Structure 1
Amino acid sequence: MQLMSASPVDGSVTEPTGQTRLRQPGIAAAVCLSSLAMIGFDAAATETPAVDAADTVKQLPQSENDSLLTRLIDGWEIDAALLWYREDSRVQAIEGVLSGVKALSDSESINTKIVLDSLSGASASGAAAQERAQTFTRPSGKGEYQVAAGETPLDDTFQDTRLSLTGGWQKTLDTDTRVNAGVYGSKEFDYLSLGVNGGIEWGFFKDNTTLSLSGALGYDLIDAVGGRPVPLSTMAIRKDFANEEAFWQAFDSSRERGVGDKRIGELMLGVTQILSKSTLVQLNYGLGYSSGYLNDPYKLVSVLDTSGTASHYLYESRPDSRLKQSAFVLGKTAFKRGVAEYSYRFTIDDWGLGSHTLEGRYRHYFSTRTGPYLQFHLRAYRQYGVDFFTPYLLSGEPVAEHISADYRIGDMDTLTIGLKTGWRLKDGDEIALRLEYYCQQPRGEASSLDGLKGLELYPELNAAMLQVNYSWN
């Protein structure tokens, strides 16, 4: 969860950790709260309550339906969006977002958001490409999948549906003080997340200076398909065993039963200063701590012999705690026909990961501020991977306590380029279209092993996004 005040359906490309935006009150909050990546949640769905409510409404006479609908949406500012995301030869996602904000008074408001998305495609396992075909056991143990020679190992049965629900409240206590609070829940097939967040802002010097303090707590439950792999245990593959019983004994011994849990807490301190009628600047510092089950239960590390041929595969092992820090600076400048936003973020953690992010947007209005506009987006990201990242292990060498071949926590560079256009309709509603291209290039040294020469150990990833947004005002 990320405490942000950007439009709740105006998403942008994030790094592999993932981020979700929540609306917060006030111009100062829009800038001050925009840098803290609070709690990342994945999601999916319980359909019964929605069906019951729909059936109840259907039973009412049409006039009562109209009256009920009017009462439900009266006073709400509603945004809806549909996002299509596709990686080359990997994951595809279709996401729907519906959010709303309602003013309870001049000093108090509430907001809510529901996100439903469907993901499918192929997900990289972390195993290294080989000159020969490879066979892997599916997470459940009930099947296998084949990877062709020279191809990056991908499990092509990745599929999930996620649902997340968010609610928030904001109130101005006096001319200088504002508070907000929120709750969050999300569910998918093997993951449940719950969280709360809150913050307070103080305005000084006629609100030219704003100080903010925000925090969040989260609790996640991970119920991995087939059970959580024992860190550093070997993947059981049927061809290596004499019969089915021996395979299942080996498979079960590589699994930890029960549900894993993760606890997350984060704080952010921010200050915003208005420099002139057209320019403001924001500075903030974020601190986050997580503990518990931090592994990805579906990631592997290949163990290779001296020729570069895989002999077996180990499940990854990550530390059971993580401390993250971030520093962020952002500026906004208004021009006669446009608005520019530019920012830099620096992040480090005690796993050894560090990153630099440069990002800029410029929105140009062709007539008035209510007329059509064109927005340009550019984002450059460089990441230095965790200390325990390795693309593979060599057979016979000691195995470290923590290892991972997950490219998402390795060295990488990414670039995002985007365009967005929008306009206001005659009745005051707004419509917008956004198109973005994302390129991710992992970095690493070429292998000297003969069996890996000519193979792609650090494959590039490209993705495209198209979003349609409609706002009822």
Structure 2
Amino acid sequence: MKKTINITAALASATCALLHPYASANDMLEGWKVDTSLMYYGETDRVTAVETVIAGQKDFGDERLFTGKIVIDTLTGASATGAVAQLTAQTVSRPSGQGSYTVNAGETPLDNTFKDTRVQVDGQWTQPWSDVSRITTGLHLSTEHDYYSLGFNGSYAHDFYNKNTTLSGGLAYSYDVIKPEGGLPVPFSTKTASTGYSEDYDDDGYIEEDGDDNYANDERSGSSDNKSTIDVLFGLTQVINRRMLMQFNLGVSQINGYSTDPYKVLSIVNDQGLTQSLVYENRPDSRIKTFAFWQTKYALDFGVADFSYRFATDDWKVDSHTFDSRLRINLSDSSYLQPHFRYYNQSAAEFFQPFLMEGQALPEFATADYRLGEMTAYTLGLKYGMELDNGDELSFRLEYYQQSPKNAGFTEPGTLKDVDLYPSVKAVIAQVNYRF
């Protein structure tokens, strides 16, 4: 762990030297508060993620603040495709149409070539608007190999009653471009096997149709699409007494544009529960989400209790409840322990279906993505933090996460009764944070 801290310091020194060859790192970092973290997230037999975060805040005086953050995520492993398990082995083409893989009997089909790197950059500027108010503006940019996002945001906060009450309002807009490998699949078109050879693709990267069934001929509607999101947020922060602080938020989001996951499919099964084919999913191109959030922090003689509740709903009929609690226990003037417990409950989207039946008319919208199905989840963890002799802070966090999808009232035909259509997702989260 000491090695990680030294690397962070070395990077900071090198950056400062490039910006000003005659200034030391301490000179360039004067007035800055820097927070660095490295997080590992690993699901059992599925996705593994490593996230690096460097965040900094600079005080320019007169309550003028600049906040910046850089996030780098690397994801590898296996991702659920949406297809159902079978009692016999399955051969499935990869989401992009390039190549195929074999799924063992009784196992949920997972694409084990899932790999991505995301880079995110955020910047935010805050300054007074008056003696009792301030404005904040921000910029967000993130990029992946098949997804790009650009966003802007602004907010206004006003203090009342000697700054014991704060009202705030904010507006954010983001524009995303989705450019999946192999292009955009036609909704409910059949996903076919592929040799994975380059001859299967034309000069534009689209899969060529061929009379031989061993070659890929997935239908594609284009190379990219986009969506836009508008978020509106209202907040109230209230000092209750010298020990208690409460916060209330209300938010609305309007999403328009391509919201389908181009890599997810559904299985079409017969009366015996046997898969006859795989088709690409389709989701509505608009979504309105609303949420209400309440948080209370209470200063105890030995630490701080933090509890929050969030209710969210949308016109896809996904309702969720999130309970989150933390208890900071001061071990000494310079160290603490913080247990953490989070519980989440979600209903299924109205167009969620774990499979489609052969011979029945295709619906307008359908997805078998478990993330839009009924589920419960919980996180249980512990954080340890300590202040170093130089005033910097070092902390460690270790948590266990389990997500349990549920049957939202579907009857499984034939052999599907003998396989697990709703397997749990289990993960370990480990994080180290260094603040200076």
1:471 aligned onto 2:415: no
In structure 2, runs of 5+ residues without a counterpart are 1-10, 196-207
Q: 1:365 aligns with which of 330, 343, 347?
A: 330
Q: 1:55 to 1:461 in 2, by over 3 A?
A: closer
Q: 2:67 aligns with which of 100, 108, 111?
A: 111
Q: Write the distance in 2 (CA, Å) between the matches of 1:411 and 1:226.
A: 31
In the alignment, which residue of structure 1 is the partner of 2:289?
324
Q: 1:141 aligns with which of 81, 88, 97?
A: 97
Letter matched to residue 208 of structure 1: N
Residue 250 of structure 1 deviates from its aligned partner by 8.5
Contact 1:102–1:110 (8 Å) recurs in 2: yes
Contact 2:254–2:287 (8 Å) recurs in 1: yes
SS at match of 2:250: strand
In the alignment, which residue of structure 1 is the partner of 2:202?
none
Q: 2:29 aligns with which of 54, 65, 73?
A: 73
Q: Write the distance in 1 (CA, Å) between the matches of 2:74 and 2:412.
A: 41
Q: Write the distance in 2 (CA, Å) between the matches of 1:125 and 1:158.
A: 10
1:423 aligned onto 2:386: yes
Q: 2:413 aligns with which of 449, 452, 468?
A: 449
Q: 2:134 aligns with which of 151, 160, 178?
A: 178
Q: 1:175 to 1:400 in 2, by over 3 A?
A: same
Q: Write the distance in 1 (CA, Å) between the matches of 2:21 and 2:305.
A: 45
In the alignment, which residue of structure 2 is the partner of 1:31?
none
In the alignment, which residue of structure 2 is the partner of 1:344?
309
Q: 1:83 to 1:205 in 2, by over 3 A?
A: same
1:258 aligned onto 2:214: no
In structure 1, runs of 5+ residues without a counterpart are 1-50
In the alignment, which residue of structure 2 is the partner of 1:198?
154
Root-mean-square deviation (CA, aligned residues, Å) is 2.3
For residues 281-339 of structure 1, the C-alpha deviation after alignment (integer angstroms, 9 at most, x for no partner) is 22221100101000000001100001000000110010000000111111111111211
Contact 1:237–1:247 (8 Å) recurs in 2: no
For residues 393-412 of structure 1, what are the structure 2 equivalents within 5 Å?
393-412=356-375
For residues 343-384 of structure 1, the C-alpha deviation after alignment (integer angstroms, 9 at most, x for no partner) is 11111100111011111111011223xx10000111111000
Q: 1:310 to 1:252 in 2, by over 3 A?
A: closer
Tell me whether 165-174 or 343-352 shows the greater mean CA deviation. 165-174
SS at match of 1:453: helix
Letter matched to residue 210 of structure 1: T
Contact 1:107–1:173 (8 Å) recurs in 2: no
Length-normalised TM-score, structure 2: 0.90
SS at match of 1:451: helix
Residue 125 of structure 1 deviates from its aligned partner by 0.3
Q: Write the distance in 2 (CA, Å) between the matches of 1:390 and 1:66.
A: 63
Contact 2:318–2:350 (8 Å) recurs in 1: yes
Q: Write the distance in 2 (CA, Å) between the matches of 1:187 and 1:248.
A: 36
SS at match of 2:211: helix
Contact 1:202–1:211 (8 Å) recurs in 2: yes
1:437 aligned onto 2:393: no
Q: Write the distance in 2 (CA, Å) between the matches of 1:202 and 1:244.
A: 61
Q: 1:289 aligns with which of 254, 268, 282?
A: 254
For residues 29-86 of structure 1, the C-alpha deviation after alignment (integer angstroms, 9 at most, x for no partner) is xxxxxxxxxxxxxxxxxxxxxx9xx79967x9xxx74626444322211111110110
In the alignment, which residue of structure 2 is the partner of 1:302?
267
Q: 2:57 aligns with which of 98, 101, 120?
A: 101
Q: Write the distance in 1 (CA, Å) between the matches of 2:212 and 2:230.
A: 41
Contact 2:95–2:264 (8 Å) recurs in 1: no
